Structure 1
């Protein structure tokens, strides 16, 4: 029980630390309302569940051991974050007429399916999740327990915690949506999140394991 409580504590610290998942969730909430933010959170949690399954099956170990494959995933994920960041900066610097109209209306520019897809791709394209799961989860598996089931269970718990945290973020942002979608405020948020996403993408692409 103490191992599991320790896992929950470490997981909460990791999840609550702002990163690309938080940035994408906030931006998609502004674009698609609470449904967009929650769908993004669900996509991110689904990606983590896939990573957990891959870790339990030993696939992640092969990915981490294969330098070319690891780099391919890393660069693809970094490129996707930069792409989303550039789109956000474009909206901040040169907002379209449609964006200005929707900024003061109900959010509808992002469908739930698109938000889910962005969250899923963003998480699956982050090889740090593979390294993180491969290094963290085994430390909290009780001795004598079946490794596959134990690793998968911990990974699913982590994904559920992530979804809950990000869904709460989406709810809070959505409640403040009318204020945050004001043209001047929205452009500042787009600029900040765009810069953050580009910076995170560059960091993922350039840093060592």
Structure 2
């Protein structure tokens, strides 16, 4: 019953955290705008798989070791920042290459192949797993909702599963809303501006991650 009493506060906290801007949100919005709802699904699932792994690491005490280790924290920060920069420059390159297009025609979303599905899933997972702030967040967040005397790992795993379900519903709802306007987003001029804006945001987030300390 103690855990049940804490669930409303946990759900509210998860919703507020999920709605905050960051790499995950930027990745989902761009993917849904360019690839449509179905194209955003693997990105969302990859992000949530990464989140759940971090939660399990937190429950097992591994996330605390990562957060406490200067070397591990630095390596993750460099990898995470580098990957965000890669995604950002990739979007900026797409905007640059399409600058000569004059026809403002809506493109059809690319047909997803098995390889592209797993690539999008992997991008989401790497963005989450290579974020050292995720480790610091997990070890600070979950213990607040684990009642005294309850097993930390098992309770954290259950709470994390609830968080994953909530976030999948929220993010897929957002992706569906953006995907409904996909034809507009995929018009040549709009797509170019979207690539430029999302690329700039991702590069900015990468630079901030690289520059931030603990």
Please confirm whether the aligned pair reaches a TM-score higher than 0.5, indicating the same fold: yes
Q: CA deviation at 1:161?
A: 1.8
Q: 1:56 is matched with which residue?
A: 59
Matched-pair contact (CA < 8 Å) for 1:30–1:174: yes
Q: 1:115 is matched with which residue?
A: 120
Q: CA deviation at 1:167?
A: 1.1
Looking at structure 2, the residues matched to 170 and 93 of structure 1 have their Cα atoms a distance apart, in angstroms, of: 25
* Aligned with residue 172 of structure 2, among 167, 171, 180: 167
Matched-pair contact (CA < 8 Å) for 2:104–2:189: no
Looking at structure 1, the residues matched to 78 and 112 of structure 2 have their Cα atoms a distance apart, in angstroms, of: 28
Q: CA deviation at 1:103?
A: 5.2
Aligned partner of residue 185 in structure 1, secondary structure = helix
* Aligned with residue 12 of structure 2, among 9, 13, 26: 9
Q: How many residues align?
A: 208
* Aligned with residue 18 of structure 1, among 17, 21, 34: 21
Cα deviation code 1:163-190 (max 9, x no counterpart): 2211112111111110110011111111
Looking at structure 1, the residues matched to 119 and 105 of structure 2 have their Cα atoms a distance apart, in angstroms, of: 17
Q: 2:46 is matched with which residue?
A: 43
Cα deviation code 1:107-159 (max 9, x no counterpart): 33782221111111111111111111110100111122111111111222222
Looking at structure 1, the residues matched to 188 and 139 of structure 2 have their Cα atoms a distance apart, in angstroms, of: 43
- TM-score, normalising length: structure 2: 0.90
- TM-score, normalising length: structure 1: 0.92
Q: 1:157 is matched with which residue?
A: 162
Looking at structure 1, the residues matched to 107 and 68 of structure 2 have their Cα atoms a distance apart, in angstroms, of: 50
Unpaired stretches in structure 2, ≥5 consecutive residues: none
Looking at structure 2, the residues matched to 19 and 169 of structure 1 have their Cα atoms a distance apart, in angstroms, of: 15
Residues 1:205 and 2:202 aligned together: no
Q: CA RMSD in A?
A: 2.1
Q: CA deviation at 1:97?
A: 9.1
Q: 1:124 is matched with which residue?
A: 129
Q: Which moved more, 1:167-176 or 1:78-87?
A: 167-176
Q: 2:193 is matched with which residue?
A: 188
